[in-house]
Homo-oligomer: A and B are copies of this chain.
């Protein structure tokens, strides 16, 4: 998917919502558990009830690998099902290895499974990220500033020579590896006030923003500091939507949560003259 196509979907659906399909088998409503593939059935129901209001879906691969081969089958069925809809698909995999090996991960997620994007860890530098940038109209979403407690361990360390923080160095250097047509960045919503400075470095790139909801981030703050002229934001909510209810009404309740976020986003897009 191109950047232009992404922006078209945002305008059509009046939404920049991403739903995290972090589907934990132990949290699935009991009535689905007797089915052959409860995780896929859960995802299918969530997707059916929310795709009109969602720009993107993001299965976190850990939740599938935790179940081995069975989990991988649920993942394959989920991405195949997502392809029926007008949505952007993200493999939240946080991969990164030497070039020879990153190439294998790129093939796994961007070619075989045909995700539009994959999240990538930058610690190993250029050759760990570049193989993900070689697929036409696909995206590497590089971890910059994450939403967790451990983000403060290394990401804020200032460089002696450049005075940049590590996450700023990641933003700066990685611009030599790709463009705003094939690279996005993860910037946690819990660090919303940092977005103003981040936008000085990367005014045009799309940002994937986790941490709204369960992790405590605020969407209004994220939009205030992070929105750009093509929206430039994909805001993710996982647990807040998919586990809104653990009963037979889980998909309807998920839809209600998605609609509430979409309405907030519609209002933000209007305020910014983007729709």
Contacts and interface: CB of A to CB of B under 8 A. Distances in A.
A124 B112 contact: no
Contacts of A66: 104-105, 107-108, 112
A238 B38 CA distance: 39
A154 B101 contact: no
A173 interface: yes
A122 interface: yes
Interface string A88-104: 00001011111101101
Nearest to A130: B150
Contact of A160 (B102, B123, B160): B160
Given A122-B123, A124-B143, A160-B160, A148 B99 contact: yes
A153 to B, nearest CB: 3
Contacts of A99: 148-150
Contact of A148 (B68, B76, B124): B124
Interface string A108-136: 11001100000001111111110000000
A166 interface: yes
B158 A125 contact: no
A74 to B, nearest CB: 10
User: What copy number does this chain have within its complex?
Assistant: 2
Contacts of A123: 121-123, 143, 146, 154-155
B155 A158 contact: no
A237 interface: no
Contacts of A72: 68-69, 72
A2 interface: no
A266 interface: no
A273 interface: no
A166 B156 CA distance: 11
A159 interface: yes
Residue in A101, A153, A158 whose Cβ sees the most chain B Cβ within 10 Å = A153
A99 to B, nearest CB: 7
A244 to B, nearest CB: 17
A225 interface: no
A150 B121 contact: no
Interface string A30-69: 0000000000000000000000000000001011011111
B128 A148 contact: yes
A63 B153 CA distance: 31
Contacts of A24: 104
7 contacts: A67-B112, A68-B72, A94-B121, A122-B153, A124-B143, A158-B160, A166-B166
Given A127-B149, A157-B159, A158-B161, 4 more contacts: A66-B107, A96-B121, A154-B169, A157-B161
